[in-house]
Amino acid sequence: MCGIVGYIGREEAAPILLEGLSRLEYRGYDSAGIAVWSREDGLRVVKAKGRLQVLSDLVHGGADVHGTVGLGHTRWATHGEPSDVNAHPQVSGDGRFAVVHNGIIENYVEIREVLEAKGVKFTSQTDTEVVAHLLEYYYRGDVMEALTKVLHRVEGAYALGVICADCPDQLIAARKDSPLILGYGDGFNFLASDVTAVIKYTRDVCYLDDGEIAVLTRDGIQVYSHPYLLPVEKEHHQVNWEISAAEKGGYEHFMMKEIMEQPKAFRDTISPRIQNGRVVLEGLDIGEEFLGDMDRLYIIACGSSYHVGMAAKYTLERLLRKSVEVTLASEFRYCDPIVTDKTLALVISQSGETIDTLAALREARRLGARVLSIVNVVGSTIARESDDVLYTWAGPEIAVATTKAYSTQLAVVYLIGLYFAQKLGTIGREEYTGILDELQRIPDKIQRILERKEEIQYAASLYFNHASIFFIGRNIDYAVGMEGSLKLKEISYIHSEAYAAGELKHGTISLIEPGTLVVALASYGKLFEKLMSNVVEVKSRGADILGLTTESRKADMEKTADHVFAVPDTHPMLLPSLDVVPLQLFAYYVALMRGCDIDKPRNLAKSVTVE
Ligand code: G6P
């Protein structure tokens, strides 16, 4: 989704803004723009549809635009097609204000009509343009006063960056429901959608909260609360990862780099939390009493995080003997959920900013639930608004298609399962120790799969031209199949669906014809034979079968499947962590062979901050 970066300092702003925007590219966008102020040229705005490179070429990498203060933006179109005019910054009619925005101004139609009736001319179809015109409308020489009035008038979600040609020694930022961070430097300061945009220049950041306005000058940042403009003291945070973590490091794509990082990310996530043969979850303040009385456990998430929830359901129900409901965040909000003060909502989000997940979290809390979240981005809104948070120590994830975040979220689910089961007394000592020991072997087993990635590459070369691909599985194999299917369709644009294998004959089998590819997941030993019956059913209707099972079952599966990849054997509960890796690799290689833009798939955004 849209990315914002703002710089005020002593260096030329344009190259810094372009560089910052390039770090935000991963969020997903379809146009980009910058606004830079200089005494000679005033407020200069350059915007272009398409990749950032188009904008960069227009201004020769920034060399054509002078000035030491400015704003940059990558736009992911919502209101109005991707185009030069709809790109941000949006500018007021008098050219005094330039505005960048992430979010949606929900009452923009009404505001636009009122302004048009007063003679204001709009040039774009965006909701954002009303903010620029409203600033002009309310401006009587005091920018903060005008902005306060604008914020009072607009409804919806926003992270805003504003520059006013009358006060070029300051940048202004405001936030409600869309992420915005501030970066503190020596003689310069930044605002940005996330820390990746500023980390090259500073690690000293703070997270703007809802209802806050920040005024940035070269020498400092002052934050105020809206609407009375009372000064707010912000807590500073130090970003503790290296910029290299957000660079490709010799890989052709971030996605492959992140797939390869999974053993380390998994280990980093579990190791500090296993001490003396026990799971220790520091900061988690949920005791036996709450767990014993817990009436419902909801898992709430979107996209791949939701798929982690699907796998978690099988794991947690088995370990805790409590029923677990997995709900899409976008549905949870509006389904009148049954929640009490004995309900636990487990919220899963890589970015910690997904708007539907955040809204569902707020709804769950409003209704009385206790919220425990699994989040990757430290300091993100979901992390800050949860009662308890467990971080996945995966490091920054840049590729739109998530891989290491999925794996580390699963790792945390296992830890939570074991921790709660022990508290509830639903697990015996031997089983507990057995699972925990095996959990610590998972990183090495993932590594062994990665060392055989050429086998998957070969399988991809056999099937990359298929028009339609089905993933089938039972139990946790079904849950992993959902993720495998999503990964494939996201980046290769091949139509793909995942089915619980037993459901096939209730409709979908009518789509199976000679040449259809079925990826059959048969790693869950208990249901191996049942799954193989479904494989025979589709094979006899002409499907090609790509099988995924464990090493101990490989020979059995090869009797029916055309091609089989085997993962190392492990505890059944932990199988998703191994199964998902060949499926990620399969999606990657298929997309590569089809010439797709793997790290930036069309129409997708990494962090979905609008509804
Ligand atoms: C987007 C991303 C997915 C991600 C989903 C949920 O759709 O492209 O990869 O799974 O959002 O994101 P979250 O940050 O909440 O896990």
305 lines ligand 1 (CB under 6 A): yes
Mean pLDDT of 30-34: 96
What residue owns the CA closest to ligand 1's atom 7? Answer: 303
| Residue 560 pLDDT exceeds 80 | yes
pLDDT confidence tier of residue 507, bands split at 50, 70 and 90: confident
User: In ligand 1, which atom is closest to the CA atom of 382?
Assistant: 15
402 lines ligand 1 (CB under 6 A): yes
The helix (H) or strand (E) run that includes residue 363 is: helix 355-366
What residue owns the CA closest to ligand 1's atom 3? Answer: 303
Q: Are 346 and 374 in contact (CB under 8 A)?
A: yes
Ligand 1 centroid to residue 195 C-alpha, Å: 18
496 lines ligand 1 (CB under 6 A): no
Ligand 1 centroid to residue 434 C-alpha, Å: 32
**Distance from C-alpha of 579 to C-alpha of 449, rounded to nearest angstrom:** 9
The helix (H) or strand (E) run that includes residue 478 is: helix 476-492
Substitution site in 304, 377, 489 for ligand 1 pocket (most atoms within 8 Å of beta carbon): 304
Of 227 and 533, the structure prediction assigns the larger pLDDT to: 533
Mean pLDDT of 230-252: 87
328 lines ligand 1 (CB under 6 A): no
pLDDT confidence tier of residue 72, bands split at 50, 70 and 90: very high
pLDDT, position 1: 76
Report pLDDT digits (tens) over 535-558. Answer: 999 999 999 999 999 999 999 999
**Distance from C-alpha of 498 to C-alpha of 484, rounded to nearest angstrom:** 8
pLDDT confidence tier of residue 404, bands split at 50, 70 and 90: very high
Catalytic residue among 445, 453, 600, 606: 606
350 lines ligand 1 (CB under 6 A): yes
pLDDT, position 282: 87
User: In ligand 1, which atom is closest to the CA atom of 304?
Assistant: 10
| Residue 244 pLDDT exceeds 80 | no
pLDDT confidence tier of residue 421, bands split at 50, 70 and 90: very high
Ligand 1 centroid to residue 562 C-alpha, Å: 33
User: In ligand 1, which atom is closest to the CA atom of 409?
Assistant: 16
587 lines ligand 1 (CB under 6 A): no
Mean pLDDT of 554-577: 97
pLDDT, position 490: 95
> Nearest Cα to 352, choosing from 172, 536, 490, 193?
193
The alpha carbons of the chain give a radius of gyration, in whole angstroms, of 25
Ligand 1 centroid to residue 33 C-alpha, Å: 25
409 lines ligand 1 (CB under 6 A): no
Cβ neighbours for 429, distance < 8 A, ≥ 6 positions apart: none
Report pLDDT digits (tens) over 277-336. Answer: 999 998 788 989 999 999 999 999 999 999 999 999 999 999 999 999 999 999 998 999
Mean pLDDT of 31-52: 96
pLDDT confidence tier of residue 240, bands split at 50, 70 and 90: confident
Task: Give the pairing type, strands 97-105 and 156-164.
Answer: antiparallel
| Residue 391 pLDDT exceeds 90 | yes
What residue owns the CA closest to ligand 1's atom 1? Answer: 606
**Distance from C-alpha of 373 to C-alpha of 32, rounded to nearest angstrom:** 33
**Distance from C-alpha of 592 to C-alpha of 598, rounded to nearest angstrom:** 7
**Distance from C-alpha of 8 to C-alpha of 70, rounded to nearest angstrom:** 7
Classify 325 as helix, strand or coil. strand
For the chain, what is the mean pLDDT?
A: 95
Q: CA–CA distance from 176 to each of 7, 110, 205, 513, 608 (Å)?
A: 21, 20, 18, 51, 15
User: In ligand 1, which atom is closest to the CA atom of 301?
Assistant: 15
234 is catalytic: no
| Residue 508 pLDDT exceeds 90 | no
Ligand 1 centroid to residue 47 C-alpha, Å: 28
Report pLDDT digits (tens) over 248-289. Answer: 888 999 999 999 999 999 999 999 999 999 999 987 889 899
530 is catalytic: no
Classify 269 as helix, strand or coil. helix
User: In ligand 1, which atom is closest to the CA atom of 490?
Assistant: 8
The sign one gets for the Cα dihedral 191, 193, 194, 199 is: negative
Classify 237 as helix, strand or coil. strand
Substitution site in 259, 346, 350 for ligand 1 pocket (most atoms within 8 Å of beta carbon): 350
Q: What percent of the chain has pLDDT over 70?
A: 100
pLDDT confidence tier of residue 27, bands split at 50, 70 and 90: confident
Report pLDDT digits (tens) over 166-185. Answer: 999 999 999 998 999 999 99
609 lines ligand 1 (CB under 6 A): no
> Nearest Cα to 446, choosing from 263, 196, 315?
263
pLDDT confidence tier of residue 561, bands split at 50, 70 and 90: very high
